[in-house]
Structure 1
Amino acid sequence: MDDPRPPRRHEHLRAGDTSVVVEVGDDTIPRVLRWGCDLGDLDDLALAALADAVRPTTGDSVVTHQTSVPLVPQHGTGWLGRPGITGNRIVDGLPGPGWSPLFTSAQHARADSDGVCRLVSEGTDPGAALTLTTELEVHPSGLVRARASVRNDGETPYALAALECALPVPAAADELMHLTGHHTRERLPQRQPFTVGQLVREARGGRPGHDATTIIAAGVPGFGWQTGRVWSVHIAWNGNQVSVAERTDGGWRLLRGGELLLPGEVVLEPGETYTAPWLVASWGDGLDELAGRHHDYLRARPQHPSRPRPVLLNTWEAVYFDHDLDRLTALAEAGAEVGVERFVLDDGWFRGRRNDRAGLGDWFVDEAVWPDGLRPLVDRVHALGMEFGLWFEPEMVNLDSDLARAHPDWLLGVGRGPGPESRHQHVLDLSKEEVVTYVTERMSALIAELDIAYLKWDHNRAVVDAGGQPLGSPAGHANALAVQRIMAELKHRHPGLEIESCCGGGGRIDLGIIEFADRVWASDCVDAHDRLDIQRGTGLLLPPELVGTHIGSPRAHTTGRVQPLSLRGGVALWGHLGIEWDLTRATAEERAEVAEWVALHTSLRPLLHNGRVVHADLSGDAFRLEGVVAQDGSRGVYGLAGYDRPLTSSYGRMPLGGLRDDVTYRVSLLPPGDRAPVGRRPAWMDQSVALSGRVLREVGLELPVLQPDGYLLIDATAV
């Protein structure tokens, strides 16, 4: 009996220990059959056999049992799950056909280059007059990227409602992990079974948000940092977005997502194209390997920061709005004494900005506070050998500002005036070219005038009622793109300029904004206790050199906790180090210890900002153990934080992960992280030991029990 199926062929995309097996044909856009660990060399016969081996039975209904799901699932194939493309044609101003497109006439081309395996496909639906283009990539890091574009080939407008890519995961992926949180408590993991139905995570505030999932991961139950196969997806987009884990009654498990479009936001005129953001997918045996693929991918980009990341001092928690030349000069001098390399003047420098109720949008130095401008402060900072950075919140405006009074039509709204006020501020409509021009020119002028090396770009409120006046037309998509445009233009005009993505702390951390920003501010919370987990969640996506980690004051601004400097310094060590503290009020002993932490960080920067991040899988919440290991395995440094009192009198033995089995390491404590008071001291703490990486991984070290908020640094150096 002849095979009734249309002829299909298979592509095998391989890079970075990752395989993606794709089924293609003249009648279908790509269908990913399997992605994950490398399968080795497979010829055409082996690929065809693999496809037959994983193809489910359809019974007598293609509707209830899909044999495979396209990269963009389509209702027109009989798929009853979440469609990957929705929309409709507009005829005479009314909703018309094209709401169930089916892309059949397809062409596929490999476009491998620079170690990236790439498959580009194009399918058309003549009846709906649409062309769908998909791109599927596997990078040398093993990271997978997928995205889709749709073009209107018809003679009437097409209102696109959604365009999402989806990747299947196997039945073994029976547990989901996604992140949650809020302002000052971002990116904390939560887990649940991968049950039938959809887990939908939406961000509707014009940014991924403080509760942003960052990734949705599915893995074998109980997967941890070091063990358990796990797969994940992330939406590389700095605006509204949706991430979905979907399990159907037909047995399919999909991880998927895309931009969350506002109603009527994307209406394609004849010939126009919409391109969805990249769906970025990773996998690993444990979360460390999964995260490491993100890190390797980012580090391979040509724009990734290549020079040592300057230790910075940010003025916000030191002075708040109380700007004074003498006070800030003294703060800069105190910073230089402890080794600070970049001084960042935060909020409060511009006209009318004595509190958070006025001034946003008026990007002119306040003559009342700074009669000679900022130049005297900048000159002193430069004379001390430091770079100068400045805070902006370019997308926002206070109603009490010259800008809002002169241009009320520049504010987002949906026809009932400015949208809801939040934090005493509103949002500028960057879909208007004149607004983009104003923001770009004001920032560019100050960058040039003051020799600014670094922008702290803040975004302190969610974007709601994101309509462009006068009609209130949806403008979320245009605003998100405009942010990228402005950042790119400023960097073009001012080579070497670095930008931090701050968003009320960690509200805008994604692989879309990081194409333009050089670091993120993980959270407005610098409480070291909370930062232990905030930084872990952030590190699932970004390597340490892209994450701002600051030493705060003894009493945490956001929580009121009082913590020892050893914990504050130890936790801040692991990212792009900074200081968020009025050092002029610190004691001489405190400043001396800060200088020790800064000196240690600068000495370890080549390791911390190029090595592989490792975490210990813990039993309980009494402590945290994590570290960074050099790519060649020559050294590993680990931090042990006392999180709480354990239920037992001992933490027990804990392996040091990431080291090479065949290398012998000298294990000792590393100052200044060697001073935490402990009870019983394991012998190795007083006399260093030399053990192989295999022994350290399989047997581990007996750890001392720390008091809550105690911190130790452990050094393992090859001998």
Structure 2
Amino acid sequence: MDAGEMTLVVDAAAGQPAHIVYWGRRIAEGQDAADLVRLGSRQHVFGSETQNVRPGLMAEAGRGFAGTAGLSVHRAGRDWGVRLTVVAVKENAGQLVITTRDPDTQIFLQHRFSADAENGILAIAAVLRNEGQDPLTVNHISSICLPVPQHLSDIIGFSGRWAGEFRTERLRRFSGSWLRENRRGRTSHDSFPGVILCEENTGELSGEACAVHLAWSGNHHLRVDTGNSGDVLLSTGALLFPGEAILAPGEEFSSPPAVVGYSANGLSGLSRRLHDHVRSSLLRAGVRSKLRPVHYNSWEAVYFDHDPEQLKAMASKAAEIGVERFVLDDGWFGSRRNDQSGLGDWVVSDEVYPDGLTPLVDHVTGLGMEMGIWFEPEMVNPDSDLYRAHPDWVLQIEGLEQVPFRNQLVLDLSRPEVCDHLFDRIDAILSDHDIRYIKWDMNRDLNHPAGQDGRSRAFDQIQALYDLIDRVRTAHPEVEIESCSSGGGRADFGILAHTDRIWTSDSNDALDRQEIQRGASHFLPLCVTGAHVGPAQCHITGRKLSMAMRAGTAIMGHMGVEMNLLGEPGEDLEELARGIALYKKHRQLIHDGDFYRVDNVTALNIIGVVARDRREALWSVAYMASLPERFPPRFICAGLERSQAYRVRLVWPEDWRSITSPSIVEELDLTGKGAVFSGELLMTVGLQLPTAFPETVLLFHLAEE
């Protein structure tokens, strides 16, 4: 199978175990696949099996493979030595289905490969079926066990924390296992289900790199095993708790898909493959073609202190500065005046909104903006009418105290009556009001995800969540949905197949956001990553940053605003309005262009987007801290047409001046008419950056002459 720059070759002879012969850089057409087998011939070495043991698609125990098995099952302690052989292969238009079976253990397994030839992405999933007469316990199942080319020596993983997501960690691959496991019941802030492997010298613009991402929003495992043979095996799948998957005779278990990307054009080239996959294969066509509206969220402006007249005034001010969507956050329903009560009671509060939400909604839409609203459907406060009526609806392990977490408990979505209730409440609010957007939040881990029978519901919870969101979208196709989970705790390709935007982080500190958004950009395109202009002083870090820094950072994403506009200085609002206007002018480029990161330069963060036809580009240069050298480095562009002439202008901040002048900004009139250079010079010689104070972001626009 070919997909973009990548080729996958599978040996799937009938009656034999299936195994991957080759995966990596694309092989030119016309080559004999049998030659790949011959080139991989191995001799016997002392101290090992006399016949080479290959892991196959699932590294199952019956093969005698000494590494970690991709499939671990049993029936009351028996039938665990599974050895699957091919019974059928179907291939059609980029789809490959390999069906395997073990007649001794009566286990059926089907691998489904889907190649996105245009975007260069493979999606791989597995379906397991119990064909025996007794229940089959599934301890562990990977979506795929993928052999990795040995020259990919570096591992890039993604960790983090609340308000500090998508931190990259690069290390040299070693003998043994690199392992990430997540048991939080959501994608998590600290264990993003994606990994990149690359060459030692791979940078942003050159070198080979591959990525594997599990499109799943719950518990997961992700590992890279390097054996003493030198072979490298990457495996990923949903992580199952004991007894979570026990298959009755004839019952199936479907693994989440593993999304696989490859590029020989560096880490940015790999990201562009993944971004195109999200935009063309995951996002709905209507959302994909729509310009992403400037977003306003009320949370950091009012928190729980809702006053309809103040919110109307806030909406009017938002419309004045160019906002196009107004989202009412937590606090509009039930007894929800703080985070200790009311969660789960999705009825408009008579106490706060005596005339209902309609006057506010009508005011917002009358200003020409869309109206949005906050829900956290999966959760409930013990102090709520819902919990008092249905205390049995929550996930809990009998006999154990609940783990305290933000004064809330988790509803068991695997129970149909729970999802029916939640859908009815959400549907009623959307049906009664002209609301076109939901911020769908989820603010705690699933520490004790057991149902009434005591078995874990962690996997079923995510499947039920997807179904509930799809049910809402089917009933209200005009409504867009944002995935939020204490910020970026649920940001993955699984949830993006059911939603339209990701809330990247609860930190609106622009310096934090520069790093967070850069990390997220390895997998997520700018069109889905929410980026807001917060208050001058961030309530999480306590740091104070200029409006120019905050707005310039938010422009490079799906721009939004989250502050009390009624208390902002007039000059800051004027500057914010100019930033919003700049975003609107270039958002088509920002969200649809080819994305580039420049290799890390000390104290600088440089990212950019280049139009697909290479006629224009927008580059962001953030001065994160004091530079170690006297002068900043040259900025070497990427992605331009070498023979094309480009007019270079500094478009943000407006009328900016360097620390000393004349700088290159004044010499070249970059804040005025700009200067014209060839793509060849801009990508070979580069532009000497001006000296700037730390906590400054400059945006350069390049347009063809």
1:717 maps to which residue?
Answer: 703
Aligned to 2:547: 565
Letter in 2 for 1:573: I
Is the Cα contact below 8 Å between 1:163 and 1:259 reproduced in 2?
Answer: yes
Pair 1:71 & 2:57 matched: yes
Deviates more, 1:144-153 or 1:671-680: 671-680
Structure 2 match to 1:650: 631
1:128 aligns with 2:112: no
1:382 maps to which of 365, 373, 376: 365
CA distance in 1, matches of 2:482, 2:40: 46
Name whichever of 511-520 and 657-666 sits farther off.
657-666
Counterpart amino acid of residue 304 in structure 2 = F
Which secondary structure does the structure 1 equivalent of 2:682 belong to?
Answer: helix
Give the 5 Å matches for 1:405-420: 405-416=388-399, 419-420=402-403
CA, structure 1 residues 211+633, in 2 after alignment: closer, same or farther (shift >3 Å)? same
Going from structure 1 to structure 2, the CA distance change for 1:228 and 1:685 (only over 3 Å counts) comes to: farther
Which residue identity is paired with 1:34? Y
Q: Give me the whole-angstrom Cα distance separating, in 2, the residues matched to 1:616 and 1:324.
A: 46
Q: Quick check: 1:86–1:160 contact (8 Å CA) kept in 2?
A: yes
Cα deviation for residue 30 of structure 1 reads 3.5
CA distance in 2, matches of 1:582, 1:550: 13
Tell me: CA distance 1:483–1:611, structure 2 relative to 1, closer, same or farther (3 Å): same
Moved more, 587-596 or 177-186: 587-596
> Quick one: structure 1 residues 159 and 685, their matched pair in 2 at CA, closer, same or farther if it must change by over 3 Å?
farther
Shift of 1:135: 1.2
User: Which residue of structure 1 aligns with residue 128 of structure 2?
Assistant: 150
Q: Which residue of 2 aligns with 1:10?
A: none
The offset of 1:648, in angstroms, is: 0.5
Match of 1:33 among 13, 21, 25: 21
Query: C-alpha displacement at 1:123, in angstroms?
Result: 0.6
Aligned pairs (5 A) from 1:673-692: 675=656, 677-679=658-660, 681-682=663-664, 683-686=667-670, 688-692=674-678
Give the direction of change, closer, same or farther, for the CA distance of 1:125–1:335 in structure 2 (3 Å limit).
same
- 3-state SS of the aligned residue for 1:300? helix
Match of 1:48 in 2: 34
- Residue aligning to 1:548: 530
8 Å contact kept, 1:292–1:613: yes
Matched, 1:291 2:271: yes
SS of residue in 1 equivalent to 2:111 = strand
After TM superposition, give the deviation of residue 65 of structure 1 in Å: 7.3
Q: CA deviation at 1:397?
A: 0.7
1:170 Cα offset (Å): 1.4
Report the TM-score when normalising by structure 1: 0.94
Cα deviation code 1:268-313 (max 9, x no counterpart): 1111111101111112221111111111112222615221111110
1:515 counterpart = 2:503: no
Q: CA deviation at 1:363?
A: 0.7
Query: What does residue 85 of structure 1 align with?
Result: 71
Work out whether 1:309 is the aligned partner of 2:292. Answer: yes
Secondary structure in structure 2 of the residue aligned to 1:186: strand
Q: Summarize deviations over 1:9-50 as a string: whole Å, max 9, x none.
A: xxxx1132321122221134542222233211134xx22112
Contact conserved, 1:203 with 1:212, CA < 8 A, in 2?
A: yes
Task: Give the SS at the match of 1:69.
Answer: coil
* TM-score under structure 2 length normalisation: 0.96
**Is this contact kept in 1: 2:244–2:457, CA < 8 A?**
yes
Please say if 1:493 is aligned against 2:475.
Answer: yes
Deviations 1:631-669 (A, max 9, x none): 111101101111011111112212111112222211121
CA distance in structure 1 between the partners assigned to 2:548 and 2:16 by the alignment: 59
Provide, for residues 74-118 of structure 1, a one-character-per-residue CA deviation record: whole Å limited to 9, x for no partner: 1211211110100111xxxxx132212110243211121xxxx22
Equivalent residue letter for 2:380 = V
C-alpha distance in 2 between matches for 1:661 and 1:259: 46
Matched, 1:481 2:463: yes
**Do the aligned residues in 1 keep the contact of 2:380 with 2:409 (CA within 8 Å)?**
yes
Cα deviation for residue 247 of structure 1 reads: 0.7
1:373 matched residue in structure 2: 356
Is the 1:59–1:65 Cα contact (8 Å) retained in structure 2?
no
Q: Offset of 1:678 from its aligned partner?
A: 3.2
Among residues 423, 430, 439, which one is paired with 2:406 in the alignment? 423
Q: 1:450 aligns with which of 415, 433, 439?
A: 433
What displacement does 1:222 show? 4.1
2:197 alignment counterpart: 218
The letter of the residue matching 2:617 is G
Aligned to 1:638: 619
SS in 1 for 2:363: helix
Give the Cα–Cα distance (whole angstroms) in 2 for the partners of residues 104 and 374 of structure 1. 61
CA contact (8 A) 1:544 1:574 kept: yes
625-634 or 25-34, which deviates more = 25-34
CA shift in 2, pair 1:56/1:519, >3 Å = farther
Residue 236 of structure 2: aligned partner: 257
When residues 605 and 30 of structure 1 are mapped into structure 2, their CA distance, relative to the original with a 3 A threshold, is: farther
Give the structure 1 partner of residue 254 of structure 2: 275
Amino acid at match of 1:145: A
SS in 1 for 2:55: coil
| Partners of 1:351 and 1:363 within 8 A in 2 | yes
Counterparts of 1:483-632 in structure 2, within 5 Å, are 483-620=465-602, 622-632=603-613
Deviation readout 1:58-80 (Å, 9 max, x if unpaired): 44787487464312111211211
Cα distance in 2, alignment partners of residues 268 and 215 from structure 1: 28
Shift in Å, 1:673 = 5.0
What is the aligned partner in structure 1 of residue 148 from structure 2?
169
Q: Once structures 1 and 2 are overlaid, which stretch shifts more, 666-675 or 332-341? A: 666-675
- For the residue of structure 2 that corresponds to 1:473, the secondary structure is coil
Would the alpha carbon gap of residues 581 and 29 (structure 1) be closer, same or farther in structure 2, given more than 3 Å must change? farther
Alpha-carbon distance in 2 for matches of 1:515, 1:709:
36
Q: Deviations over 1:379-423 (max 9, x none)?
A: 100110111111011101111111111111001101126631201
CA distance in 2, matches of 1:35, 1:673: 49
Identity %: 36
Q: What is the aligned partner in structure 2 of residue 3 from structure 1?
A: none
DSSP-derived class of the 1:403 partner: helix
**Distance change (3 Å), C-alpha of 1:231 and 1:630:** same
Q: Matched residues in 1 for 2:230 and 2:211: separation?
A: 19
Offset from partner CA, 1:229-263 (integer Å, 9 cap, x none)? 11121110011111111111121112220000111
Q: 1:694: which partner in 2?
A: 680
* Counterpart residue identity of residue 532, structure 1: Q
Question: Retained in 2: the 8 A contact 1:393–1:458?
Answer: yes
Structure 2: gaps of 5 or more residues: none
Return closer, same or farther for 1:476/1:340 CA change in 2, 3 Å cut-off: same
Q: Is the 8 A contact 1:674 1:713 kept in 2?
A: no
1:397 correspondence with 2:383: no
1:108–1:122 Cα contact (<8 Å) kept: yes
1:20 pairs with 2:25: no
Structure 2 residue matching 1:373: 3-state secondary structure: coil
AA aligned to 1:586 is: E
- Contact conserved, 1:676 with 1:710, CA < 8 A, in 2? no
Q: Does 1:179 align with 2:158?
A: yes
Q: 1:550-601: CA deviations, max 9, x gaps?
A: 1111111210111011111111001111101111111221111111111111
Distance in 2 separating the partners of 1:595 and 1:66: 66
Distance in 2 between residues matched to 1:656 and 1:408, nearest whole Å: 59
Aligned counterparts of 1:707 and 1:602: Cα–Cα separation in 2:
27
- Per mean C-alpha deviation after superposition, the further-off stretch among 675-684 and 497-506 is 675-684
Q: Distance in 1 between matches of 2:645 and 2:23?
A: 36
Supply the RMSD in Å over aligned alpha carbons: 1.6
Find the aligned partners of 2:438 and 2:486 in 1 and give their Cα distance. Answer: 15
The equivalent of 1:159 in structure 2 is: 137
- For 1:557 and 1:96, the matched residues in 2 are separated by 54
Secondary structure of 1:317 counterpart: helix
CA distances 1:428-464 after superposition (whole Å, capped 9, x unpaired): 1111111111111101110111121110000111111
